[in-house]
Structure 1
């Protein structure tokens, strides 16, 4: 492999129904910083059906170029179609760096593409930078249950690839005066390549568990004592127009589905307001929500670790505090 042939920073612009996921915008901001530090261009990769309009957003968030592949075979995410297409783009245009969101689709697509192009992939990154001695991308991710942070380099293979957790970076301020080059690429996917077919789309995750996009999250832990008491969490979330989260302990106990789990082995979130209700604040949980703008903790233990990261703390029985908060917010809304 001639590593000198590989140039440029790419961001895979994940989209659903023609709308770019927030993590794509977050990564464009970080990609711009990396590209500037490396003295290379930033490109967005858009794959979908009738998604050309997304190019304006991609340019506004810092990209110099967009690689666009459209076709009916991309109307919904399909492992085979998207893997074939992104692999072909990499082999043709040879980027040095690729950033992808650590979403369900990104975690499926990234490793498959990395294996096909013969490179490594650093998963679930929480920080990005440039290793000054080598000029390589420094991918930082939690390891050993979040007890240490590992920084990983990829010196021998290209592209350098990584998936980055949603909400660990803020979205850049868009500049819609920016423009760039759109490179339209013809799909090479054939019907015989697709081993699965979408028969029906079942909406499993409602607004209450769309944690990555939520601006307000109300999370509950084992301090709620029993699963029935999660109704108090749901009532407060509904009053605030927020989503419902849960600690790993609550999910492991079967009180809420894994879709609601916040933490190292769940979802990383960064809402404007995060309510931690009956959650002690284990390292695993803090790794998933500590980037929230405002953290409100409710716990009867005044020495609970969650209070060390909270902006506001209420020491009390969560089963008594939650109904009072819900009533208060409903009163404010009139």
Structure 2
């Protein structure tokens, strides 16, 4: 059986030699068409999703207020941290589909029927926080549809994790336990979740777009032959008369490199399936008084279903917590790794010690790709979405892929030497200046506050 390997990081990139480029130029490229590989479900006819509309990201409702000098900036930061300054006047979502979704669908016209499902993610007996965000969104969708929320959780010895799922908004928990599910072997998990979904027949299934979810979702979608929209930033229920669809899942996500937003629906599919970036959706406050049903579901797997033998699993040594009051994030504008480390370390330490709050560092995708910081610290569409009280964007241009991930921050403060940086039109406060020069001076004034 052929095997496909992917590499997330390789420390020794191979560059082509001159002789290799000459050989490549003379090499005949094999070209296959649809009939050669017997591809049938391709193109628009094979797609289970349709783009309803494409629109530019909406303008921000943030203050976009220029700070004239560093002492004023230090005073502003101190006041916000001490709750002595009003929060931002309001944040405009960059993901609004523009469709009317505040309604109750006609039960006689709805295109899909069934519950709203969520696939739970867990590791080391702890539920991933993004699962609770998906349950919160599922609860909202189910209430609109007058339906229930089903959560599917698979693994070995997982019963002790189920109560919290009920408290967070689930109605039914489908527990799929089997000793073969001790390790995350993706083909096994894809099979058991696909089987559980077939048995319960939900109309919507949601997963978090975590590294695990990104692997699992397309395999389940392929097995069930259903449409899948990945990396959604907004999910709601609405009608699409043009496609003769009523009470369906309206899915909004960035498209064309994040330069536009696309509103998508599922069509000609047995169910609707979507993933959403962690940190985008909101978790409902847990309610210990909520009641729900625990339903045991058969895994229906055997040893012969195992396709990979997991020899060893390693986890990152660094502990990262983006659920903090303040995040200091730098982009490629800080020029090099030394500047990046000096700025983040000194600024984080000063704020943490001065105001006794939790602070974490982060970086843009450009900073990660330039080697200034490890990928686990990346904030953005392909990294982590965050929602701190204050988000410092230092030397960050303000690409939409980054701004989507920080949209839920209460206050965004940007420092950039480029007076035309797009982030200045998407933040609450900004200061024009060289980050390497501004931060040391800012630290001195913060200490005096």
Tell me what 2:329 maps to.
219
Does the C-alpha gap of structure 1 residues 331 and 182 become closer, same or farther in structure 2, counting only changes over 3 Å? farther
Aligned mate of 2:290, from 154, 164, 178: 178
* Contact 1:233 1:322 (8 Å CA) reproduced: no
Aligned mate of 2:270, from 158, 161, 171: 158
The separation in 2 between residues aligned to 1:5 and 1:132, in whole angstroms, is 12
* Contact 1:17 1:76 (8 Å CA) reproduced: no
RMSD in angstroms over aligned alpha carbons?
A: 2.4
Bigger CA drift: 218-227 or 268-277? 268-277
* Contact 1:12 1:99 (8 Å CA) reproduced: yes
Q: Residue by residue, what CA displacement relative to the aligned partner does 1:160-196 show, whole Å, maximum 9, x if unpaired?
A: 1000111112211111100111111132222222222
Aligned mate of 1:286, from 390, 397, 403: 403
Structure 1, gaps ≥5 residues long: none
Structure 2, gaps ≥5 residues long: 1-109, 241-245, 353-357
Tell me what 1:168 maps to.
280
How many pairs are equivalent? 328
Superposed, 1:45-84 pairs within 5 Å as 45-84=152-191
Deviation, structure 1 residue 112 = 0.2
Aligned mate of 2:252, from 140, 143, 146: 140
Deviation, structure 1 residue 247 = 1.7
- Asked if 1:265 is matched to 2:382, the reply is yes
Aligned mate of 2:427, from 288, 300, 310: 310
Larger Rg: 2
- Asked if 1:244 is matched to 2:341, the reply is no
Q: Secondary structure at the match of 1:53?
A: helix
The separation in 2 between residues aligned to 1:79 and 1:331, in whole angstroms, is 54
Q: Secondary structure at the match of 1:153?
A: strand
Q: Residue by residue, what CA displacement relative to the aligned partner does 1:131-169 show, whole Å, maximum 9, x if unpaired?
A: 224111011111011121111111211221000111112
Deviation, structure 1 residue 275 = 1.6
* Contact 2:254 2:260 (8 Å CA) reproduced: yes
The separation in 1 between residues aligned to 2:381 and 2:154, in whole angstroms, is 29
Aligned mate of 1:204, from 307, 316, 324: 316
Does the C-alpha gap of structure 1 residues 24 and 328 become closer, same or farther in structure 2, counting only changes over 3 Å? farther
Q: Residue by residue, what CA displacement relative to the aligned partner does 1:215-271 show, whole Å, maximum 9, x if unpaired?
A: 543211122111211212244345644333222222232323333322233333333
Bigger CA drift: 269-278 or 95-104? 269-278
The higher relative CO (CA closer than 8 Å, separation ≥ 6) is in 2
TM-score w.r.t. length of structure 1? 0.89
Aligned mate of 1:93, from 196, 200, 203: 200
Tell me what 2:226 maps to.
119
Q: Residue by residue, what CA displacement relative to the aligned partner does 1:54-113 show, whole Å, maximum 9, x if unpaired?
A: 222111111111111123333342202211110110111111100100000000000000
The separation in 2 between residues aligned to 1:147 and 1:320, in whole angstroms, is 32
